[in-house]
Amino acid sequence: MAGLKNADDYANGERFKGAGIFGVLSLGVGVVATVVFFLVVILNRETVVDLGGGHTEAVSVTKCLAFSWLFAVVFFLSIAVGGMFWTMLHHATNSGWGTLVRRLMENLGIMIPVLLFLSLPLVLKQVGFRDVLWEWFKDRAAAEVVAEEKAEEKKGVYIAEIRGKAEAVKSEIAEVEKIKAAGGDITPGVARFYDDQIEELTEKSKVLSAHAEMEDEALVEELKGKEFQKVNALLYAKRSYLEENFWLLRFVLYAVVLGGGMYLLRSTSLKQDKTGDPRLFTRMQTMSCLILLPFAVAWTFLVFDWLMALDYSWFSTMWGVYLFAGAALNSMGVLVLILSALRRAGYLTDVITKEHYHMMGKLMHAFVIFWAYIAFSQFFLIWYANITEETKFFLTRNTGFWNVYTIMFLVIGHFFIPFIVLLIRYHKTTTWIICSVAVWNLFMHFFDIYWIVIAERAPSLVAGEVTHIPKMWMFDLLAFVGVGGIFIFALLKALGSASLFPCRDPRLDESLNLTN
Amino acid sequence: MFGYVAEFSSASELYHAAEKVRDAGFKKWDVHTPYPVHGIDHAMGLGKSWLSAVVLCGGVLGSFTALALQFFTQVALYPTVVQNKPTNLFTLPAFFPVTFELTILFSAFATLFGLLVFIQLPRWNHPLFESKLFKKFSDDGFILVIESRDPRFKRDKTRSFLEEIGADEIEAVVV
């Protein structure tokens, strides 16, 4: 066919020469915003919230800011994780269309370590964010203190009671044996009646004696558990998962799976740029298939730990896939934007065609629908089942201020508008339209994460019916700019560190001559 | 006479031939290949199909049918209270699954029946089935057909034109 491109002509790749002043500017803005943000945290001022009816309450700004930082980190982390997902999907499905874009996906994915580093203020107890965001830390500590006190108070009675019960059963057995012996010459039927009774009591005695023979300390531990359960049954049921050391271990595992996995994939890809060894191509495919499952588990549990646990009494099994859908959709949007920005700056102009945009547009369209499908299913199941523990999440978000927000941004903005715009092929292949849709979707993703994290702030920090704490949006934006600036700077660095596309990939030919 | 059936040796030959037929201004013609050839629609100068418009109409009709059906029966005529859910506009989420399904169903029907109308099926027979050469398209033949109802069709000129653009074999289909 006419004008086929030959991958050999592109074997040297294309280097990004850096964004010059823009990169420095984004770093500067990011660092300044972050420093100002943490200065406000250290200042630890208070803001007064109007509770209505003439009542007011003073709330620590530092506590409000914990939510801002979580929001900003999760927003950018989701985009980086989406980049990792697309890289692995491309390998695992043996795709050829996006080989030219794959390096951009890898560069987006390699932002995961950067964002995990930026998430350290959330993880480190000393900063003070952790206990504010995830109330189970302090609730658990409080419940344990109460349990300790109660156990100390009751332990004498409790131990005596356990041991007394064991003794009582033993004497009961003796009693029955005595009656049996006193009966003298009894019929086999009556003898069996007594034997059955003795057997039953012996079984019971075994259990109770084993319990009574336990060390005093073990019995006190047991009593503590029971007292803990009385204080907070919900947290007691989740105690083995919501445990500080396990929580920290999980964070390390997320870092290993997400950060380490992405680093492996990208470094193999960079090696292929130099050697052109086709075995590396199959190795990356194997790697992707192996990492996909741990990746899905890590991301699911990461959002369980960071977002769902903002209210530990609430749960949704669709939470992981809901956050994944938003991540995949918006990292595709970011890929479209990076690609267009690079082309505008004069890179990749002769390799990328509107066919690539068409592909990316189709994937965006698919994920707009997928996101809506998951989001609606989650809402629908909870709304229809109407179970108290589950409706909590949507009660906060479907009343007052947040209700208008939900309908405006999530129902109409996040689904209907991009869905209709992306239906038309012309829109997917025209750069300025697809870029506008990508930017629009990013705004909606912003509102989506904001809705998840920030809606939890007022119920966590203020008593009563207050839905949001005024003026705090400024700090939400500040945190967003801070993390965003650092993210963009690191991304530009990553772009400049290698060729802009995997120049010696065996599938380059296919991607160069893509037709839909 | 129905038209000419011409065979080409490869997909690439056929692709270039299609470009030339397109440039020569023919309208009533088609190509037949054993497998889908990427970009052939572009080489043939095919515009966008109107089928998607029919599908859109089907989908929209499906949505409105489902919503109307549910609103009239469950809200207007016989309000059904389930699990203390409202019986007004805010019942909408409960109607989504049915709306979704009917949208899909009506779109699928619109696709199928719209396609049948556009390609004029079902029909008993087609003149091309008279051609021996044409049968090769489902095996190893790359076939181009120009119909005689095309205004540019001339019995001799079109034949020589087909030879010129590289046809290996040409058969006139007469009915």
- Smallest Cβ–Cβ distance between B39 and the set A1, A384, A425 belongs to A1
Please give the residue of chain A at the shortest CA–CA distance from B49.
A425
Question: At which residue do the structure tokens 């000393």 appear?
Answer: A126
Mean pLDDT of chain B: 92
Partner B contacted by A416 (CB < 8 A): no
Contacts of A380 in chain B (CB under 8 A): 93, 96-97
Q: Which residue has the higher pLDDT, A459 or A284?
A: A284
Share of chain A above pLDDT 90, in %: 70
Partner B contacted by A394 (CB < 8 A): no
Quick one: pLDDT band at residue A1, thresholds 50, 70, 90?
A: very low
Q: Are A62 and A41 in contact (CB under 8 A)?
A: yes
Partner A contacted by B135 (CB < 8 A): no
Q: Per-residue pLDDT for A471 more than 90?
A: no
For B147, the domain range is 3-48+126-173
What mean pLDDT is predicted for residues A195-199? 90
Least confident of A178-187, A302-311, A314-323: A178-187
Contact residues for A175 (Cβ-Cβ < 8 A; gap 6+) = none
Please give the residue of chain B at the shortest CA–CA distance from A386.
B83
Domain CATH code at residue B160? 3.30.70
Interchain pair A386, B39: CB under 8 A: no
Domain check: are B114 and B130 in the same one? Answer: no
CA angle, residues B56, B57, B60, in degrees to nearest 5: 85
The pLDDT tens digits for A263-289 are 999 999 999 999 989 999 999 999 999
Contacts of A379 in chain B (CB under 8 A): 93
Q: How far apart are the first and last CA of chain A?
A: 15
The pLDDT tens digits for A242-260 are 999 999 999 999 999 999 9
Q: What is d(CA A444, CA A482) in angstroms, rounded to the nearest whole number?
A: 19
Partner A contacted by B12 (CB < 8 A): yes
Q: Per-residue pLDDT for A437 more than 50?
A: yes
H or E element in which residue B146 lies:
strand B142-147
Contact residues for A89 (Cβ-Cβ < 8 A; gap 6+) = A95, A288, A292
Q: Per-residue pLDDT for B72 more than 50?
A: yes
Quick one: pLDDT band at residue A462, thresholds 50, 70, 90?
A: confident
Least confident of A297-306, B77-86, B147-156: B77-86
Chain A, chain B: beta-carbon pairs less than 8 Å apart: 24
Which is nearest to B6 in space by CA: B174, B172, B169? Answer: B169
DSSP A342-407: HHHTTSSTTT--HHHHHHHHHHHHHHHHHHHHHHHHHHHHHHHH--HHHHHHHHHHSSTHHHHHII
Contact residues for A433 (Cβ-Cβ < 8 A; gap 6+) = A421, A426, A427
- Domain boundary among the residues B118, B134, B155 is at B118
Partner A contacted by B16 (CB < 8 A): yes
H or E element in which residue A96 lies:
none
Mean pLDDT of chain A: 92
- Domain boundary among the residues B118, B135, B157 is at B118
Which is nearest to A69 in space by CA: A489, A483, A503, A494? Answer: A483
Q: Per-residue pLDDT for B159 more than 60?
A: yes
Partner B contacted by A383 (CB < 8 A): yes
Q: What is d(CA A285, CA A288) in angstroms, rounded to the nearest whole number?
A: 5
The pLDDT tens digits for A13-67 are 889 988 889 999 999 999 999 999 999 999 988 888 888 778 888 889 999 999 9
Domain check: are B146 and B166 in the same one? Answer: yes
Quick one: pLDDT band at residue A117, thresholds 50, 70, 90?
A: very high
The pLDDT tens digits for A155-173 are 889 889 888 988 899 999 9
Q: Are A502 and A92 in contact (CB under 8 A)?
A: no
Q: Are B144 and B18 in contact (CB under 8 A)?
A: yes
Q: Per-residue pLDDT for A413 more than 50?
A: yes
What are the boundaries of each domain within chain A? 18-59+77-118+243-507, 140-234
Interchain pair B94, A384: CB under 8 A: yes
Q: Are A29 and A481 in contact (CB under 8 A)?
A: yes
The sheet with strand B29-32 has its strands ordered as B29-32, B142-147, B3-8, B169-173
Q: Per-residue pLDDT for A3 more than 80?
A: no
The tally of domains found in chain B comes to 2
